Every structure is written in C-alpha cells, then in structure tokens.
Structure 1
Amino acid sequence: MRGWLLWMLALLALPSWAAHGLGMGYEPKYPASFTHFDYVNPNAPKGGDLTLSAAGSFDKLNPFTLRGVPPVGMGYSANGFVFSEYGLLFDSLTTPSEDEPFSQYGLLAEDIQLAPDRLSVTFRLNPKARFSDGSPVLAKDVKYSFDTLRSKAAGPTFRSYWADIKEAVVTGERTIRFDFVRQNAELHMIIGGLPVFSSAWGKGKPFDQIVTEAPIASGPYMVDRVDFGKFISYRRRPDYWAANLPVRKGMFNYDTVSYQYFKDSLGEEESLKAGALDAMEERSIIAWVRRYKGRRFDSGELVKEEIAHRRFTGMQGLAPNLRQPRFADMRVRRALALAFDFDWLNAHLFYGRRGRTQSYFQNSDDLMAQPEVSPEEQALIDKLKTRQRYLDNTKGELPRPDSSGDTAEGLRRNLVKAQELLKEAGWTYRDGALRDKAGTPFVITIDIADRSSGVVLAPYARNLGKLGIRLDYRLRDPSLLKKKLDDFDFDMAISLVGGSSSPGNELYDDFGSKSASEKGSQNLSGISDPVVDEIVEVIVNSHDRASLAAAARLLDRYLLHQHYMTPMYYGKQYFIAHKRKLHRPDAPLPQRLLAGSAMLTMWWIDPSVK
C-alpha cells in the first residue's frame, strides 16, 4: 500500500507542462535553455550536394503502406521505424536525443502535457510549423496522420505500436489530445514519434492508393527528382521552419541528397572509386580490406575511416519460421545454432572485426542478461502467472552462442551435440539425408538480397550438410524478398530485432503473440509464447529505468533459452569511405546513432575543398 501511495503522489507531482523534453524514468540531459545537442557542430556550413547509393530498387513514394518498396531517405517503412534512424521528409511531434537511453524533445510540439492519471497526453503545436506546400501544421493534420497510420490502409506496425491509444481528439486549432486505453509507462513519449503529413497528400485518394505522389510533410527536405527504381533526389527546403530550433541546429546541412540505385554492392563500390558517389558505408569486411584501394585513395581524395562504436545492436540472427512444425521443437533450433561457426567466420572472413551476438540487447550494459539471475529478476519471476512454464524452460546456465575456437575439434564437438539433439527430436540419418519419421528430408531454403550473405551462408551450409540437412540459399530481388517475408513465406530468414536502448511498445511487434499472425510484422520467427507476452507487459508498464532493465534481462534470458534465433554477429565499427570534402563533428558518435544516419544528418561539405 505504501508503494502505491508513493507512486500516486509522484504522478500528482508531475509538472503541468513539460515544454522542452521528457526522459524515460529519468531527468532529461538537456535543460530548457539548451541551444544544440552535444554531438553536432552547431556552426556546420550549409550547402553542397551529397550523392549516395542504395541497393535494389523502389516503386513507390509512400513509405507507410505495406505493398511495394519505398526509396531510401524517407526514414520510415510499413515494417516499422527506429527512433535513431532519421528521414528527410517527415517531422514528428517530438524528436529523440541520441546520447540518452530514451529522451524526447519538442519538434512540431512546443509543449507536452501528461495528465496526472497518465491516461492522456496533450501536445501544443509550434505556430511556425509549415508543410512543404506552405500550409500550417494544425491539430487536424496530426489527427489525420494518426488515424491513417493506424488504419488498415497502412502497414501493421503502427497499429501494434499504438495499440493502447484509444483515440486522438482535436481540442483546439493547434492542440491535440491522445487518450489511452490504460496506463502505459512510455506511451506519451512514443506517440511523440508520430510522423505528421498533410491530408492534401494524394488529393483525396485512398491512402493505400497513394503511390507516386510525393509526400506533403513538414521535414527539412522535399522530393526533387525521381526515376523510379533508379534514382531519387531530395532538395532542402529554404523555408524549413525548424532550421534554428535547438533540436535541429547543426543538422541537415546539404542542399540536396541523392541516391543512385544499384543491383549489387560491387556496382556501388566501383561507382565510389570512379568519383560518382560522395560516400559509402561498406558492410563486407572482405571488400573493405581487399578492394578499397587505388589512385583516389592514394591521393587522399577518398578517405577510409573505421569508426568504432558501442551501439545497441540488438539480435542479428537466423530466424526459423516457427509456423512450420519442424522448427517447433527447441532441440531442433538448438541443433541448428550449434552448426553456425562464428569463430571460423570471424577468423577467415571478417579479419577479427566482428563480435558474436550474445543478447537481444547487445551492447547494453544494464539490459543484457547476465550469468546470474539478479534479485530484481527473481522477484519478477516469482510474480509471473506463467512462472512454472518460465522455470521449466530456463533450466541450467544462461545459454551463450557456442564457440568452436576456430578448430576442427571444436566444430566436431558442436556437431556431435547437434546430432544427439536431432535424434532426440525424432530425426534420423538414412539414404543420404536427415529425415523425419515420414521419411521427409530436412531441407532449408534461405532467400537473400545480396551476394555477401551467400559468402557467410556457404560455410553454414557445409556444416549443416554434415548433419544431413541441406541448406539452399537463393539470391532474390529485394522487392520479392520483402513480399515473401511480409507473407511469412520462408523457411529461415536473416533477421534483426531488438536493439532499442529503452525497449517498450515495439516489443509487441517484435515478439508478441498477436504479431505472429499479422502479415508484415517484425515477428518473423512467429514467436507466440505466453511467457514472452507476460514479460513484455511488465517491460511496457515499467515506470523507471531499474525495473525496465530487470524485466528486459528476464526477457533476454528467456528468449536465449528458447533458441528462437541462431545468433550471428554484430559490427564493432563502421566502415565508411568518403570524399575528402566531407567532414563530421569531433564529438564521438552517440551510442544510439547509426553511421549512415549521422552522415545524412550531421556531416557537412567543406566548401573550400573541390
């Protein structure tokens, strides 16, 4: 009772108006008087044209509908968005700082009011805010954006993310209130990330039929030129209303940002060497070490940088489709994981530059599960309704990805374990293949979007072959691959989930039972587990960092024990090649920020370098 009273008193003590920012369970770093974020150069010169590359193709300018592929640079997609990824077109009510776990500061909204009962939040819009067609951003536009994105005309992620929001209510020309179904610790902050666009976009067409019409939004850029599937250019708005706000000072410095599309990464690389691109982030370490050489590198016109980071990377892994009965057995999933030899890959393909993913919250000191269960975690376990199932499925030590030590004996040991597990699960080797009781051979197909993935999967296929499992990997057009993943039409997929520095409502879409059957969701594996659902609810309703972190460690521990994914690896640094004219802030790259996002938003062109 005493704890409940203290909590209620804390709610009543909340300030009426939090004009400049909010922190998730802590006081935000930046005071109301701040002039710019610490990680930007507030005096960065404006101007110049930035040309980048993109892989694959695109066929629409609406990033929020499920069907089709939007261009790079818009910052959103129907399959969800991450707060640390910036787009060029859409401003939101609030914007994050990248050097805090989860803080939001006013952008379109100049004031934020959280109700004392935490069942609603009201935003007051900045009267200076303007769309790219010159019209003012009003509360009715915010409501239109919210209602549209939560409708069936848009992708499913927003509906999942905002499931606890009852409705948006316009209370004045520039004020809007969001009413909640129930109390939710972070909902007043995540709704601030709502991308706002004008109802005039599409000229009255149904939203899911807006395809080639450029968005009318309030962000720093607008679409300039488009050659569908091949090229897109964004032009910085000279009338951008937020250019001098503290949350935008020193950012979005180029006059134009263009993307040239290529069918494969080799084409991008050769274009960079020829001088047609200004910068490129290389993801193949083999290419980086062996091929980024030549006259322009020798002369200093092109610069190679390895930018170290401790970014929260989440879980990159191989996701088996649990909707297929053969992957339902945890012993099968464990066997598949034992055949993935990270140590060999790191030594022979990655030049020691990768780290093994060991957590769904990799690189987060307080969110990653540790070998020992903490007292805070044990207290949560004792309260779980699914406690017995949790304990039955998390016996033994915390499972970490198995190491072969890059030795033949280490791999042999892991494969022997895998054979034993598969035999226990009812799979036997006969007639040249691993077969189930009906005699069906174990064959796995993985569709990939680029050849570099094939280089990684080839040794995995060899290892699985020793178990009698055939792994086929096929190069697919990115748009076809996206559709197959959206429809859950796959055996196994390379997936990236988690990685938030402050996990919350996005976990419904990543791991929730409801999202397992929602086409287009992030829950590729198809996890439908009451234990996961219950722990996610604890995380979403945590009101301080300590309780959130304890619940996140519990979720991490359980997911690892279930072997819902085969952990792969993560990058310990970014590999960026760029022209000498590009400069970046002296401050270290913030933990939350992707290198590509930093280059897009915080770098600048030195006008004195030709």
Structure 2
Amino acid sequence: MTSMQHPSTTHSNALNAVITSIKLAGFSLFMSLSLASPTQAINSDSHQAVMKDTTPTTPKHGVAMHGDVKYPADFTHFDYVNPYAPKGGTVRRSVVSNSYDSFHPFVLKGVPAAGVSHYLYDTLTVQSEDEAFSQYGLIAEKIEMPADRSWVTFHINPKARFQDNHPILPEDVIFTFNSLIEHGAPFYKAYYGDVLNVSKTGQYQVRFDFKNNKNRELPLILGQLPVLPEHYWASRDFSKSTLETPLGSGPYKIDSFNTGRSISYKRNPNYWAKDLPVNKGLYNFDEIIFEYYGDQTIALEAFKAGEYDFIVENIAKNWATSYSGDKFNNGLIVKEEVEHEQPVGMQGFIFNTRKDIFKDPKVREALSYAFDFEWTNKQLFFGQYKRTNSYFENSELASSGLPSKEELAILNTFRGQIPDSVFTTVNQAPKTDGSGKVRKNLRTALKLLKEAGWTVKNKQLVNEKTSQPFKFEILLYQKSFERIIHPFTKNLSTLGIQADIRLVDTNQYIGRVREYDYDMFIMTLSQSNSPGNEQRDYWYSTNTTTPGTRNYIGVSDPVVDQLVDMIIAAPDRESLVTRTRVLDRILLSYHYVIPQWHLPKQRIAYWKRLSHPKVFPKAGVDFDTWWTNDQ
C-alpha cells in the first residue's frame, strides 16, 4: 500500500504530487470501447484462476489487512475527527510549482491541478488514518471476500451518485478498472496486476477474481480505486490532457480557475456521501483555494502576509529562523510540531544505475563517504534532523542490528546471490564528527574507487581502462536545495569527481524523471505501515525500462523480485515485518541511495482562524478534518 509522503526537506514534492500517492493520485484511463464488454474485464494473459474458497461469506462494513478492523459496524465517525465541526468559510492553500495544465489526472500527460483527484472523485472504500491498513465502505457500502482472499465483491451503495445525479453502477467500476489496466500508468498496471477479471454480479454488485490467492492485500487496494463515470467519458478521449471541468462524485466541484496560477473548489451541497460515518467531520470548508507560487521563499512570505492560511514547512532553516515576529508572538499565526507514527521512507541522493558510471556498488558506496550529514545537520539544519538508515525508517519494518533468527531463515535461502555483508555487517551510513573535516572518509572513498577501477590523474578521477573522467549531473527543480548540495559536490571535487547541479523548471523535471533522464536526483521513496503491491513499482526488474514507474534507481535483481512477491503474500503481520526487514537489508547492501535525513514529525503553521481536532491520527496531519472559525 502506498502512503502520503512525509514532508521532510526535499525537492521531490512536485513529482510525488503527480505520480505517487494513491490517496491523491490520478489514473491513466483511456480505452476503446471495443476492447472489452461493459461487464467483463480485459484478460490479456494466460493465467487461470485458482480453486476458489466456497465457504459462505458475509459482507462487511470494513476489512483490515491483518486482524480485525478498529471501528465496529455501527461506528459514527473516526476518532481523529470532530463530528460537530462547523461547515463553512474559505481556506486558502499554496502549491510551490511553476504551473498546472490539466484537470485530467488519469494520464501521465500534463501536470494536474492540485486537489483535482482528491476532491472530485470518490473511491470504493476509504482508509482510516489511525490503523496500519484498514478500509471502510464509501461507494461500496459493504465488502465481501472469502478467507483465502481469492476474490472480492463490492456492494455499491444504491444512494451513490455522480455530481450530475447519475447513479454509480458496477459498469462504472468495470469501465474504470479496464481503462486503467489497458492504458494506465505503469504503476497501476503492476498494482492491480493480479486481477484475473472483474464482472457485474448484481444490480449493485461488482466482483474481482484473482489469478491466485497469494496477494492478500489486493481486496483492500482495489477498494482504493476511484470510480469514474462511463457515461461522461463515452464522448471524450481519455488519452488527452484537458482543462475541461470534469464530472466527479466527490465532496467538491471546480468553481473557478486561473490556468497555472490558482484553482478554487466549492463544496457540493448535494454530495451524496456527506452523512456517511467515514465522512463525518470531514470536508468542512465551503471553498478551498490553491494558489501557485514559483518560489518557496516567495510562498513563505506570502503566508506570513496572510495571502493563504496553512503551510507545512519542509526547510529546517526556515523553521528555525523565519517563523517569528509579532504575528507569531500575539497568536495570529500558530506554530506546531505534530509527531506521527508513519514510516518516513528513504530520502536520499538517488543513483540511476542505468548509467554505466553508477553500475558498480563500490562506486555508489564510495560516493556516500563524500556526504557529511553531521556537518550539514549542524550548520544548515540547526540540528533538527536524524540520519536515515532504512528504506522503512521510523517504523517496526526497518532493519536494525544483525539479522534475527527469523530473518536469517529467509536470507540463508539466498546465500551466494546476495552480498555476504548482509549476514555480518550492520549497514549504516558513514559518519563524521561534524567539524567539516572529512579527510578520513574521503580516503575510504578513494580506496573503494580504486578497487572499482578508478584512479586520480592530474587531480581528475578517471577510469583506468578507458580514461573516462568521472563526472555526472544532479537534477534539481528547487533552487533552495543548492546550498545543501554544494558541500557534497565540493567533497566530490576533492576526490577528482565533477558533479554539476542542473536546475530545471517543474514541468521539465517531471518529464525527465518519468523518462529516467538523469544521473542522480533527490527523492523520497515513500512507504506505508503496510507495504505491498506498490513495492513492485519501486523494485521490480520489469520496470527498469518502462517510463513512468517509480523504479527510479533501475533495480533489476531476481532476489529482490522474489522478496517483493513474498511481502505481497505475507499471511500475517509478523511475517510481513520480517520479510520487509530482509528486503530492507538487501537494498541497503547495494548502496542504491546515499541516505539523507528524516524528521518523525510534521512542522505546520496556520492562521488562528483555522482549527483542528484535538487528536491527530497516527498518520499525522489530515487537513480534511480542519475547519474555519469564521462562521
């Protein structure tokens, strides 16, 4: 399962906002109607369905990945909302990006406007933000599946409506799913790849049958499917981006927009699901406005001037030095640090191993010794951050110490196929004393580079066989990150390596990352408390050449492929944790990333006209639960 990105200091937000989060993500959904009947999914491979569990089943209001759901069938609202929150008022938010050019977030073309998929489209089910992974009914009022999870049936609420009052039917679910699989972004084809077919089984029932019963997460992630209106798209081309106002089923409609500069959403007074328990206390603002700013510094000054109401601060220096003054002292602006229990994932310098220069793990490890986190944290971040040492940092899923007995039972099956260091070495990022003197680390780096076939000639690192100089480019779109990278490139220069910073605009950045057109860039590989199908998009060998996946590194390893399949098939929480830790260890051993830093909290500020519930969910700030005091 994917999750929201933790707001650490990174410039990857623009890309992640477009292609990562399931909760906010778009789907690529164009198909020719001749490709499939309206009640049968495309089945383009030869897999056959497994023997199905015929034990009688009972439709339920919610399902958990492991164990039971927290909330009973008669629950009235989630614990982290204020069910009596007043409705009304306007809230203004910001987006640091050059522009947007599409209201169609379901194709890779274009840059979608902020909020368009989140506020306009309902999903079959919704996730609670205070459980590891549980889904509750939204469009589907009930979920039905056997114990072996070899299929799932969603019972659509007869009251479910699109915003034109057209009923939401099984045909719409099937249309959406078929379109996604046939023409969607590669991530979603992999995400739902274990579905054999989907069919209408009743007036308000749609059933998904699976290729096998090993993917226990699949019924829950199918619930995340946004449902689009087949009748609306019958006369439109899904393959093209557009600024035509779309038809959705969600709590808001697009009210007005200034292309690339702002967009306004108005709450739909006739929203069909406004009184459901999963929506109580949510979507309280009458109007939500997103204002676009091309520069983070300008955006911060605009916030302090009252041009918008809420900000998540991702830059440590700003938090330490810019959130002060009369407006903060007299309480007009409120500062908070919100702790959360969400894995922060791995933020780091991402190597593109498709490039010959970064294919050798020793080279990648060597470059990690040139990054001085301790000095950076002390001098640039005011000591606010912790070093990241896991792809699943800040969670029980992270590996630590030497492998446990349970982990060794898995690792031993891969002996000879993985580095021996996995069994004997605790993999931690290089350390310094924070003084800025990194001579010892650079000596280690040079030793590794020499072992990898590189040598220094005339103060330049060159390949001993080809005399090729060691130089590469670090792709950026956020200028504020340059001050953090410069000390790193300076240390690389001492090694004889030429590392150039390439600053581009948001649209070019997104396009280049989608096509893997970079040597190195900075990204947060976000994770959730319940890793599953999305791991394919990050690590599967089949995604190394397919544009638009999240295998940014270019990982192609049969052991990693097997481990991802094992994680997806984990029968219980204990085995999921063990298998994820093993994957973590193996990924770390190959030095695919130079780990950076994390913060197990969110830094937020807001004007006092806003209020939030007393209790934050375990996942952190959920802005949909907030309200304004202007009524």
Superposition TM-score, scaled by structure 1 size:
0.91
Q: What secondary structure is seen at the aligned counterpart in 2 of 1:503? A: coil
Alignment partner of 2:575 out of 524, 547, 550: 547
Counterparts of residues 97-116 of structure 1 (less than 5 Å): 97-115=128-146
Structure 1 residue 428 corresponds to structure 2 residue 455: yes
Aligned 8 A contact 2:346 2:388 in 1: yes
Structure 1 Cα separation of the partners of residues 173 and 134 of structure 2 = 21
Alignment partner of 1:561 out of 572, 589, 613: 589
Alignment partner of 1:328 out of 359, 365, 372: 359
Alignment partner of 1:46 out of 87, 99, 103: 87
Runs (4 or more) in structure 1 with deviation over 4 Å come to 10-13
Q: What secondary structure is seen at the aligned counterpart in 2 of 1:447? A: strand
Partner residue in 2 for 1:26: 67
Partner residue in 2 for 1:417: 444
Partner residue in 2 for 1:449: 477
Give the aligned residue type for 2:383.
Answer: G
Partner residue in 2 for 1:468: 496
Give the aligned residue type for 1:374.
Answer: S
Structure 2 Cα separation of the partners of residues 414 and 481 of structure 1 = 32
Partner residue in 2 for 1:81: none
Structure 1 residue 207 corresponds to structure 2 residue 249: no
Partner residue in 1 for 2:299: 268
Give the aligned residue type for 1:416.
Answer: R
Structure 1 residue 237 corresponds to structure 2 residue 268: yes
Partner residue in 2 for 1:78: none
Q: What secondary structure is seen at the aligned counterpart in 2 of 1:136? A: coil
Q: What secondary structure is seen at the aligned counterpart in 2 of 1:58? A: coil
Shift of 1:297: 2.7
Give the aligned residue type for 2:476.
Answer: I
Partner residue in 1 for 2:190: 160
Partner residue in 2 for 1:84: none
Aligned 8 A contact 2:391 2:525 in 1: yes
Structure 2 Cα separation of the partners of residues 115 and 502 of structure 1 = 21
Aligned 8 A contact 1:398 1:561 in 2: no
Structure 1 residue 249 corresponds to structure 2 residue 280: yes
1:91-142, Cα deviation, whole Å (9 max, x unpaired)? 1111111111111111111111114553221111011111112111111011
Q: What secondary structure is seen at the aligned counterpart in 1 of 2:376? A: helix
Deviates more, 1:243-252 or 1:372-381: 372-381
Structure 2 Cα separation of the partners of residues 296 and 129 of structure 1 = 45
Aligned 8 A contact 2:88 2:628 in 1: yes
Aligned 8 A contact 1:62 1:212 in 2: yes
Partner residue in 1 for 2:466: 438
Q: 1:201 to 1:232 in 2, by over 3 A?
A: farther
Alignment partner of 1:372 out of 385, 402, 406: 402
Q: What secondary structure is seen at the aligned counterpart in 2 of 1:394? A: helix
Aligned 8 A contact 2:53 2:150 in 1: no
Structure 1 residue 169 corresponds to structure 2 residue 199: yes
1:302-343, Cα deviation, whole Å (9 max, x unpaired)? 222222333211111111111011111110010111111111
1:47-76, Cα deviation, whole Å (9 max, x unpaired)? 11011110111111111211111111135x
Q: 1:290 to 1:143 in 2, by over 3 A?
A: same
Partner residue in 1 for 2:114: 72
Partner residue in 2 for 1:603: 626
Shift of 1:25: 1.6
Shift of 1:498: 4.0
Structure 1 residue 292 corresponds to structure 2 residue 346: no
Q: What secondary structure is seen at the aligned counterpart in 2 of 1:390? A: coil
Shift of 1:392: 3.7
Structure 2 Cα separation of the partners of residues 107 and 130 of structure 1 = 11
Counterparts of residues 337-348 of structure 1 (less than 5 Å): 337-348=368-379
Structure 1 Cα separation of the partners of residues 122 and 416 of structure 2 = 46
Aligned 8 A contact 1:393 1:562 in 2: no
1:248-281, Cα deviation, whole Å (9 max, x unpaired)? 1111110111111011011211211221111111
Aligned 8 A contact 2:403 2:423 in 1: no
Partner residue in 1 for 2:101: 59
Shift of 1:408: 4.1
Partner residue in 2 for 1:586: 614
Aligned 8 A contact 1:501 1:592 in 2: no
Structure 2 Cα separation of the partners of residues 558 and 343 of structure 1 = 25
1:485-529, Cα deviation, whole Å (9 max, x unpaired)? 000100001122142100000000011111111100011001011
Deviates more, 1:23-32 or 1:112-121: 112-121
Structure 2 Cα separation of the partners of residues 17 and 443 of structure 1 = 61
Give the aligned residue type for 2:627.
Answer: W
Give the aligned residue type for 1:62.
Answer: H
Structure 1 Cα separation of the partners of residues 443 and 522 of structure 2 = 25
Structure 1: segments with no counterpart, 5+ residues = 1-7, 76-86
Partner residue in 2 for 1:83: none
Alignment partner of 1:91 out of 122, 133, 139: 122
Structure 2: segments with no counterpart, 5+ residues = 1-49
1:136-195, Cα deviation, whole Å (9 max, x unpaired)? 11110111111111222x321110101111222122231111111122111111111001
Structure 2 Cα separation of the partners of residues 470 and 146 of structure 1 = 47
1:463-494, Cα deviation, whole Å (9 max, x unpaired)? 11111112211221111100000001000011
Partner residue in 2 for 1:459: 487
Q: 1:309 to 1:253 in 2, by over 3 A?
A: same
Alignment partner of 1:404 out of 403, 419, 432: 432
Structure 2 Cα separation of the partners of residues 455 and 510 of structure 1 = 29
Q: What secondary structure is seen at the aligned counterpart in 1 of 2:182? A: coil
Partner residue in 2 for 1:490: 518
Over the matched positions of the two proteins, sequence identity in percent amounts to 40
Aligned 8 A contact 1:339 1:418 in 2: yes
Structure 1 Cα separation of the partners of residues 549 and 340 of structure 2 = 29
Q: What secondary structure is seen at the aligned counterpart in 2 of 1:345? A: helix
Superposition TM-score, scaled by structure 2 size:
0.89
Q: What secondary structure is seen at the aligned counterpart in 2 of 1:208? A: coil
Structure 2 Cα separation of the partners of residues 217 and 172 of structure 1 = 23
Counterparts of residues 511-530 of structure 1 (less than 5 Å): 511-530=539-558
Give the aligned residue type for 1:157.
Answer: F
Give the aligned residue type for 1:52.
Answer: R
Q: What secondary structure is seen at the aligned counterpart in 1 of 2:253? A: strand
Alignment partner of 2:603 out of 575, 581, 593: 575
Structure 2 Cα separation of the partners of residues 72 and 61 of structure 1 = 9
Deviates more, 1:372-381 or 1:354-363: 372-381
The two structures, once aligned, show a CA RMSD in angstroms of 1.8
Aligned 8 A contact 2:375 2:436 in 1: no
